[in-house]
Amino acid sequence: MEPNTIEESINGLLEAIKESPEYLEFRKQSELLEKDPELKARVDAFRADNYRVQNECDSDNLFEVVEQMGKESAELRRHPLVNAYLDAELAL
Protein backbone atom coordinates (compact mmCIF):
# COMPACT_ATOMS: atom_id res chain seq x y z
CA MET A 1 0.00 0.00 0.00
CA GLU A 2 1.46 3.35 -1.05
CA PRO A 3 1.03 6.37 1.21
CA ASN A 4 -1.74 8.65 -0.04
CA THR A 5 -1.12 11.69 2.07
CA ILE A 6 1.75 13.67 3.49
CA GLU A 7 0.68 12.60 6.97
CA GLU A 8 0.85 8.92 6.01
CA SER A 9 4.28 9.46 4.48
CA ILE A 10 5.50 11.20 7.61
CA ASN A 11 4.14 8.42 9.80
CA GLY A 12 5.85 5.83 7.61
CA LEU A 13 9.15 7.70 7.86
CA LEU A 14 8.85 7.97 11.64
CA GLU A 15 8.21 4.24 11.93
CA ALA A 16 11.19 3.47 9.71
CA ILE A 17 13.41 5.65 11.89
CA LYS A 18 12.12 4.06 15.11
CA GLU A 19 12.86 0.59 13.73
CA SER A 20 16.33 1.45 12.41
CA PRO A 21 19.40 -0.10 14.07
CA GLU A 22 20.82 3.38 14.64
CA TYR A 23 17.76 4.55 16.55
CA LEU A 24 17.55 1.35 18.58
CA GLU A 25 21.22 1.67 19.54
CA PHE A 26 20.74 5.33 20.44
CA ARG A 27 17.78 4.46 22.69
CA LYS A 28 19.79 1.70 24.36
CA GLN A 29 22.73 4.02 25.05
CA SER A 30 20.40 6.79 26.19
CA GLU A 31 18.72 4.47 28.71
CA LEU A 32 22.12 3.36 30.04
CA LEU A 33 23.27 6.97 30.43
CA GLU A 34 20.05 7.91 32.24
CA LYS A 35 21.04 5.50 35.02
CA ASP A 36 23.77 7.99 36.00
CA PRO A 37 21.90 11.31 36.36
CA GLU A 38 25.02 13.33 37.21
CA LEU A 39 26.91 12.11 34.15
CA LYS A 40 23.83 12.61 31.97
CA ALA A 41 23.55 16.19 33.23
CA ARG A 42 27.20 16.81 32.27
CA VAL A 43 26.61 15.37 28.79
CA ASP A 44 23.45 17.42 28.33
CA ALA A 45 25.26 20.60 29.41
CA PHE A 46 28.11 19.84 26.99
CA ARG A 47 25.64 19.23 24.14
CA ALA A 48 23.82 22.50 24.92
CA ASP A 49 27.10 24.43 25.00
CA ASN A 50 28.16 22.81 21.73
CA TYR A 51 24.88 23.85 20.11
CA ARG A 52 25.32 27.43 21.32
CA VAL A 53 28.88 27.58 20.00
CA GLN A 54 27.74 26.39 16.59
CA ASN A 55 24.87 28.86 16.41
CA GLU A 56 25.69 31.91 18.51
CA CYS A 57 29.44 32.29 19.06
CA ASP A 58 31.08 35.42 17.67
CA SER A 59 34.34 35.13 15.80
CA ASP A 60 36.35 37.14 18.35
CA ASN A 61 36.72 34.28 20.82
CA LEU A 62 35.74 31.33 18.66
CA PHE A 63 39.17 29.69 18.80
CA GLU A 64 39.28 29.74 22.61
CA VAL A 65 35.72 28.45 22.92
CA VAL A 66 36.31 25.63 20.44
CA GLU A 67 39.54 24.70 22.20
CA GLN A 68 37.73 24.52 25.55
CA MET A 69 34.92 22.45 23.99
CA GLY A 70 37.53 20.03 22.65
CA LYS A 71 38.96 19.59 26.13
CA GLU A 72 35.51 19.02 27.60
CA SER A 73 34.71 16.52 24.87
CA ALA A 74 37.92 14.58 25.50
CA GLU A 75 37.20 14.53 29.23
CA LEU A 76 33.64 13.28 28.77
CA ARG A 77 34.59 10.73 26.13
CA ARG A 78 36.97 9.05 28.56
CA HIS A 79 33.80 7.55 30.05
CA PRO A 80 32.89 4.51 27.93
CA LEU A 81 29.19 5.14 28.57
CA VAL A 82 29.41 8.73 27.32
CA ASN A 83 31.52 7.73 24.36
CA ALA A 84 29.01 5.04 23.31
CA TYR A 85 26.11 7.47 23.75
CA LEU A 86 27.71 10.26 21.70
CA ASP A 87 28.75 7.80 18.99
CA ALA A 88 25.17 6.44 18.81
CA GLU A 89 23.78 9.97 18.68
CA LEU A 90 26.15 10.87 15.85
CA ALA A 91 25.21 7.72 13.91
CA LEU A 92 21.53 8.56 14.26
Does 54 fall in a domain? yes
Tell whether 1 is covered by a domain.
no
pLDDT value, residue 63 = 82
Residue type, 6: I
Assigned domain for 42 exists: yes
What pLDDT was estimated at residue 80? 95
Question: What domain range is 78 assigned to?
Answer: 6-91
What pLDDT, on a 0 to 100 scale, did the predictor assign at position 55? 82
Q: What is the 3-state secondary structure (H, E, C) of 41-75?
A: HHHHHHHHHHHHHHHHCCCCCHHHHHHHHHHHHHH
The pLDDT value recorded for residue 3 is 55
pLDDT of residue 21: 97
pLDDT along the chain (92 residues), means of 10: 80 96 97 96 93 78 84 94 95 94
Whether residue 57 lies inside any domain: the answer is yes
Look at residue 26 and tell me if it is in a domain: yes
Question: Is 58 part of a structural domain of the chain?
Answer: yes
Domain total of the chain: 1
User: Can you give the pLDDT at residue 11?
Assistant: 94
